[in-house]
Amino acid sequence: MGTTPTTPTRAFNVDSVRSEFPLLQREVHGKPLVYLDSAATTPKPQAVLDAVAGYDMHCTANVHRAVHELSTEATEAYEGARTALASFINAPRREELVWTRGTTEAINLFAWSWGRTNLQDGDHVLLSEMEHHANIVPWQLLREQVGIEIDVAPITDEGVLSVDAVLEFITDRTKLVSLAWISNVLGTINPVREICEAARERGITTLVDAAQAMPHANVDVQAVGCDALAFSGHKMYGPTGIGGLWARHDLLEAMPPWQGGGDMIKTVSFEESTWNDVPMKFEAGTPNIAGAIGLGAAAGWIAELGPDVIASHEHELLEQCVKRLDAIERVQLIGTAPRKAAVVSFVIDGMHPHDVGTFLDQHAVAVRTGHHCAWPLMARYDVNSTVRASMGAYNTVEEIDAFADALERIIEVFG
């Protein structure tokens, strides 16, 4: 497996993109599926399905440990995927990419290992009001263990997090700024580069939650200037159960392992063990080999089309979606920031979001309803839940219209 290309190598054509996704060919309740739940998880293109099946069918073996041919092939594919992902995010070194189960595990790893080593009683960690629980609860666990304090930078009613709002909360006790690049509820694209720059000037470490950025933005860790970044494979057309933590090599070197077992050691005796090099120091036990290989293929698939090309297609979908929803009187959009990815949350006056989601399902439209693992954000907008339509490279303007038409009909009949 080679590295991911830096410029698109395929022309974008939404019909041909769609045809690569077997899931999108199916019907639901006898109607063509309209999949608008990509922020929760994305269907996988054939290239990813083939990569996973290729490992299962042709080179199933454990990695790093055996000398036989299958293990050599599996290790090459698995480590090739690491190279592909490292290249996809423009990491200076491939060893800086640690495989995890996803964003949640990556942030927990960082909080546990970096946090317990570098933070002490009274140190502050700065988050924002729009964080996913995955970027809140690990810091609360650390607060219980170490005694850190958590600050929360506010957002505007439109769902904008300004650099100034972040700066206002930075004091000489702030040791870490940990923020979502793109909100999974509001779709807001945060100014992470500017925030990381301001943090760096003040000697503050930065962690970026890129769960929603990987499928919607051009993720370049060097351009962003963060110290660490977390992501999930299943939100970027890859398999579930695989993701990564990228962090600067010197940071990883100085961090202690967080789980013990096979692969993460250099030597073991009952008296003492020594740790493997980065990144394997953080990868105890048999990893998700097929998942990593599938994720390598997903990164390659996105890179072939070009993240910017996908983002511009999704922007068209977003504009159509906002236009249609804005025209429905009882719909209130939650999150109207000028810089947004194709994630649209809303409530309908007098209708519970779960009912709206259930009715939409009858029209074969798959959306998310609930708190989206962002309770503090729900409280910020004084709602318990929202309906969320989130788009991907495979969605069409016709699907957005089908969704909006279904919504109008539902309001007419049940509202």
The interface mask with ligand PLP, positions 88-127, x = CB under 6 A, is: --------------xxx-----------------------
User: Do 109 and 135 form a contact (C-beta atoms < 8 A)?
Assistant: no
Q: Is residue 132 close enough to count as binding ligand PLP by CB under 6 A?
A: yes
Check binding of 37 to ligand PLP (CB under 6 A): no
Burial 181-196 (b: 16+ CB within 10 A, else e): bbbbbbbbbbbbbebb
Number of residues assigned to the chain: 415
Report how far residue 111's alpha carbon sits from residue 137's, in angstroms, rounded to the nearest whole number: 10
Tell me the window of 8-16, 49-57, 161-169, 204-212 that interacts with ligand PLP (CB under 6 A).
Answer: 204-212
Provide the token pair at 72. 């050599």
Provide the 3-class DSSP secondary structure of residue 131.
coil
In the list 20, 96, 129, 209, the residue contacting ligand PLP (rule: CB under 6 A) is 209
Select from 179, 119, 190 the least CA-distant residue to 152. 179
Three-class secondary structure of residue 54 per DSSP: helix
Q: Which range binds ligand PLP by CB under 6 A, 66-74, 86-94, 206-214, 247-255?
A: 206-214
CB of residue 109 to ligand PLP, shortest distance in Å: 11
Spatial separation of the C-alpha atoms in residues 309 and 303, rounded to whole Å: 10
Three-class SS state of 390: strand
Number of residues lying near ligand PLP (CB under 6 A): 11
CB 257, CB 282: distance < 8 Å: yes
- Burial tier of 376 (Cβ tally within 10 Å: 0-12, 13-18, 19+): middle
Please tell me whether residue 279 binds ligand PLP under the rule CB under 6 A. no
**What is the Cα 116 distance to its own chain's centre?**
24
Binding mask 286-305 for ligand PLP (x = CB under 6 A): --------------------
Q: What residues contact 395, with CB distance under 8 A and at least 6 apart?
A: 14, 35, 36, 38, 314, 317, 342
Give, as ranges, the residues between 210 and 249 that touch ligand PLP (CB under 6 A). Answer: 211-212, 232
Q: Helix (H) and strand (E) counts for the chain?
A: 16, 17
Residue choice 34, 52, 63, 134 for contact with ligand PLP (CB under 6 A): 134
| Closest CB to ligand PLP among residues 134, 367 | 134
CA distances from 311 to 200, 389, 395 (A): 28, 16, 12
Residue 337 makes contact with ligand PLP by CB under 6 A: no
Q: Report if residue 345 touches ligand PLP, rule: CB under 6 A.
A: no
Q: How far is the CB of 275 from ligand PLP (least distance, A)?
A: 25
Catalytic one of 196, 226, 321, 373: 373
The H or E element that residue 233 is part of is: none
Q: Distance between CA 394 and CA 65 in Å, rounded?
A: 39
Site string for ligand PLP, 146-185 (x = CB under 6 A): ----------------------------------x---x-
Q: Does 369 bind ligand PLP (CB under 6 A)?
A: no
Q: Does residue 75 interact with ligand PLP by CB under 6 A?
A: no
State yes or no: is 226 an active-site residue: no
Q: Which is nearer to ligand PLP, 246 or 359 (CB)?
A: 246
CB of 136 to ligand PLP, least distance (A): 10
Backbone φ, ψ for residue 257 (5° rounding): -60, 155
Q: How far is the CB of 388 from ligand PLP (least distance, A)?
A: 10
Q: Which is nearer to ligand PLP, 17 or 242 (CB)?
A: 242
Closer to ligand PLP by CB, 236 or 407: give it: 236
- The residues that are catalytic are 373
Q: Which residues sit at the interface with ligand PLP, rule CB under 6 A?
A: 102-104, 132, 134, 180, 184, 209, 211-212, 232
